Amino acid sequence: MKKIITFVILFFITFAIVSLLAFPIIFDLIFSFIILLIFRKNFISIIILNFLILIMLFVIDISFKKYDEHTYFYRAHEKHKTKKAKYNNNISDIIFMPHGDIYYMDFGLSGKRNLIKEPRMQEFITDSYGIRNNKSKIKDAEIILVGDSFITANGNTQNHIPANVLSEISGKKVASLTYGGLNPAEYEFIIKKYLNIIRKDAKIFVFYFSGNDFLQKNIKKENESKYIYWRGYKIPKITGKIRFAYVNLERKKDKLLLKIFSEKNYFLRNVRARSHSMYMKFFSKLHNTGNGIQYYKIHNEVVGFYYPSEFITSDEYVTYIFRDNKILERVNGFFFIPIKLRIYSDYIDSVEIGENKKLKYLENSYSKLNKPVYDLTKILEKSVIKYLKEGKYLYWRDDTHWNYNGIYESMNYVNSIIKK
């Protein structure tokens, strides 16, 4: 009995130490079991091996830490986000971004992802509310921009966030009410939350993103007791639940490792990223879900696109329409941000974008409320040619989000609306 208890204790100790290598959890379990199986008759050897693993972790981390400038986080959004739909307060940070979100979402399923990488430095500043503002305070702003990651400007440095770019163009004080991943109902909520401190004469503009602010209407789903529907794919319910539970466990392991190590730890920076890629590849092949990423050559460069089927269909779509009359009275207009694929579809022979029914739904819904909807699609499509002649793009080649060029052209159009 004493041996069994000792074996169990050593297993958990070994599992905890092996976990520090930042491999997938399933590997931690397998390696720990193999170690105990090999040395089952010599518990002292297990203790010595665990001690040697700890020494190896320390030596490798110290030896290689100084040679790599990136951290565990590939952008500041993940580093500073909270569970309260805001970032940490009063942050002033500079992070090296080795790539954008499209590169990350590929998980190494395609070798082409290395052709789109655009490394850059990202300055990330938040105000006392945990919102990405630095030039103007919310209470002082003459213009308020409301939206999700496009207005937060995920992947872009602080000077290039829409609020700061619009401020430079217009000469006015501009602030954001935004956080990556918000939905339109939350846009209304966040305005309501800060309404008491917003200037009475401030102009408020809300931005809907075509990519994730709309839902397909009346999606036909069969055998819902047997399948899970995820990103347009039909996944067997049992293995699907196992998949999502396992991914959640890996995320919890990330949080635990970050409490133990610094974000610059060698194993977090290098091994952990490959670990995520490894198990995501397995699940992608198991469920035949792929990664939703496609690569096309635009002008002289390869460009990555997040390309789930629902982005290009002509199905009917719906989205949340503001209902609070007090908020509607304060909002001066709504803007529609197109997906990257729509902007570049004329330059890709194999892609045919469907009719923009998301925009039509938005326009029809707000016209009934006497609120204008402005489409950024046309201004961005017109700008594509100008920038391609200079070998430049409007969206990051390795990201779903617009870069400074796309932000500048869009905010220049917003400024023309403000002047009317």
The one-digit pLDDT tens for each residue of the chain (420 residues) are 777 888 889 999 999 999 999 999 999 999 999 999 998 888 899 999 999 999 999 999 888 766 666 789 999 999 999 988 899 999 999 999 999 999 999 988 888 999 999 999 999 999 999 999 999 999 999 999 999 999 999 999 999 999 999 999 999 999 999 999 999 999 999 999 999 999 999 999 999 999 999 988 766 656 667 888 777 678 999 999 999 999 999 999 999 999 999 888 999 988 998 899 999 999 998 998 877 899 999 999 999 999 765 555 556 889 999 999 999 999 999 999 999 999 999 999 888 787 889 999 999 999 999 999 999 999 999 999 999 999 999 999 999 999 999 999 999 999 999 987
Examine the domain organization and report whether 163 and 44 are in the same domain.
no
Domain end marker among 14, 43, 67: 67
Which residues on adjacent β-strands are paired with residue 228?
Answer: 235
Count of residues making up the chain: 420
Rounded CA separation 345/173 (Å): 36
Q: How many CA atoms lie within 13 A of 415 on its CB side?
A: 19
Domain end marker among 67, 94, 121: 67
pLDDT of 70 = 78
Q: Is residue 274 part of a domain?
A: no
Give the CATH number, domain containing residue 186: 3.40.50.1110
Domain end marker among 43, 67, 91: 67
Burial 119-143 (b: 16+ CB within 10 A, else e): ebebbbbbbebbbbbbbbebeebbb
DSSP of 137-197, one letter per residue? -GGG-SEEEEESHHHHTTTS-GGGSHHHHHHHHH-S-EEEEE-TT--HHHHHHHHHHHTTT
| Exposed / middle / buried, residue 293 (Cβ in 10 Å: 0-12, 13-18, 19+) | buried
pLDDT of 227 = 86
Rounded CA separation 413/379 (Å): 7
Query: Do residues 306 and 400 touch, judged by C-beta distance below 8 A?
Result: yes
Q: Is residue 126 part of a domain?
A: yes
Examine the domain organization and report whether 403 and 311 are in the same domain.
yes
The secondary structure of residue 226, as a DSSP letter, is T
Q: Is residue 165 part of a domain?
A: yes
Smallest CA-to-CA distance from 16 within 5, 4, 28, 33 is with: 28
Rounded CA separation 371/365 (Å): 9
Domains contained in the chain, number: 2
Examine the domain organization and report whether 411 and 336 are in the same domain.
yes
Examine the domain organization and report whether 136 and 89 are in the same domain.
yes
Examine the domain organization and report whether 329 and 401 are in the same domain.
yes
Examine the domain organization and report whether 58 and 82 are in the same domain.
no
Q: How many CA atoms lie within 13 A of 172 on its CB side?
A: 21
Structure tokens given for 324? 């609070």
Q: Which amino acid is at 66?
A: K
Examine the domain organization and report whether 133 and 35 are in the same domain.
no
Rounded CA separation 307/342 (Å): 11
Examine the domain organization and report whether 10 and 81 are in the same domain.
no
Smallest CA-to-CA distance from 294 within 150, 109, 154 is with: 109
Examine the domain organization and report whether 184 and 139 are in the same domain.
yes
Examine the domain organization and report whether 382 and 329 are in the same domain.
yes
Query: Do residues 391 and 405 touch, judged by C-beta distance below 8 A?
Result: no
Q: How many CA atoms lie within 13 A of 185 on its CB side?
A: 5
pLDDT of 117 = 96
Examine the domain organization and report whether 30 and 146 are in the same domain.
no
Q: Which helix (H) or strand (E) holds 236?
A: strand 233-236
**Model-level pTM?**
0.91
pLDDT of 129 = 97
Q: Is residue 238 part of a domain?
A: no
Rounded CA separation 89/373 (Å): 32
Query: Do residues 219 and 230 touch, judged by C-beta distance below 8 A?
Result: no
To the nearest 10°, the Cα dihedral for 371, 377, 378, 381? 170
Q: How many CA atoms lie within 13 A of 25 on its CB side?
A: 15
Rounded CA separation 155/17 (Å): 34
Rounded CA separation 97/3 (Å): 50
Query: Do residues 188 and 324 touch, judged by C-beta distance below 8 A?
Result: yes
Query: Do residues 401 and 160 touch, judged by C-beta distance below 8 A?
Result: no
Examine the domain organization and report whether 180 and 305 are in the same domain.
yes
Q: Is residue 341 part of a domain?
A: yes
Q: Is residue 120 part of a domain?
A: yes
- Domain containing residue 208: 76-216+297-419
SS (H, E, C) 1-67: CHHHHHHHHHHHHHHHHHHCCCCCHHHHHHHHHHHHHHCCCCHHHHHHHHHHHHHHHHHHHHHHHHH
Structure tokens given for 351? 């892609």
**pLDDT tens string 93-149:** 999 999 999 999 998 888 899 999 999 999 999 999 999 999 999 999 999 999 999
